[in-house]
Chains A and B, each alone.
Chain A
């Protein structure tokens, strides 16, 4: 396969993903104009955004084709960062009541 045809193929290969991403986004816009409460709309839109992000991660960022070792190294790093983030939750609960938890 020549270099030129290889790079042409990649656009054709990922064009369906591109259209699915745009389709999901248009569904989000459609849902936004329906009569939903804020909470339900946020949940629906975030679920659709998660679908888009998964497609982007797997195909655009080639995570689906990466070596297993990359996954195995990144997963602990992600868990560590998320655990570190939990330090903020305590503070957010305090702010919710605008005072520290009562003894």
Chain B
């Protein structure tokens, strides 16, 4: 989105991001029907990513319901860990809301505090997840442990990759937003991604972990 948009005689080329950054009055006035391109792109990404997760989760559910002797490795301890992980991730969505709102309100220090809190919670989630993986490895359940191992580690691994990627992206966006090189709309777009990662987890937990206890 850094294409020059104003190139008249004696005018300097101004990119869309520069316009947004410096808020050049009429140049930034947008149509009431327009969708901001950054947000729209993120929504399209979310749709395609949701379908990717949907396909994996459908495959897992299909195999789980259709296989009577499905591996059931989770015990009460694992459920406590998953409850903790879920609460951490939902709380991180709340702090992300705070970051987006503070950024929009122009309160940069508060937005940064909320962003760092979200990053901390995201990292904590990843650590809890990795700890759980190691517990399964210790019990001999790996990626090569049949259908369960393959589907479980693929789905949770893809989600974990999204969380780790999100924390890294947030770190980059926070540092650039702090130095004034990015705008609140970048923080808002990051927020959309983060909430999406949270939403995906709401489907992973019931389907992958909680059906472990079915009759």
Contact = CB atoms under 8 A, between A and B. Distances in A.
Given A18-B90, A32-B213, A46-B203, A7 B111 contact: yes
Given A14-B94, A32-B213, A7 B64 contact: no
Interface of A is mostly: helix
Interface in A12-60: 14-15, 18, 21-22, 25-26, 28-29, 31-33, 35-39, 41-42, 45-46, 48-49, 52-53, 56-57, 60
Interface of B is mostly: helix
B186 interface: no
Interface residues of A, number: 48
Given A49-B203, A67-B35, A10 B48 contact: no
Interface in A66-103: 67, 69-70, 73-74, 77-78, 81-82, 85, 88, 92
Contacts of B94: 11, 14-15, 18
B107 A70 contact: no
Interface string B142-160: 0000000000000000000
Contact of A78 (B33, B47, B65, B207): B47
Interface of B: 32-35, 39-40, 43-44, 47-48, 51, 54-55, 61-62, 64-65, 79, 83, 86-87, 90-91, 93-94, 97-98, 101-102, 105-107, 110-111, 114, 192, 195-196, 198-199, 202-203, 205-207, 210-215
Interface of A: 3-4, 6-7, 9-11, 14-15, 18, 21-22, 25-26, 28-29, 31-33, 35-39, 41-42, 45-46, 48-49, 52-53, 56-57, 60-61, 67, 69-70, 73-74, 77-78, 81-82, 85, 88, 92
23 contacts: A3-B110, A4-B105, A6-B101, A7-B110, A7-B114, A11-B94, A22-B90, A28-B205, A29-B79, A32-B210, A36-B215, A41-B211, A42-B211, A42-B214, A46-B61, A46-B207, A52-B202, A53-B199, A61-B196, A67-B33, A69-B33, A69-B35, A74-B43
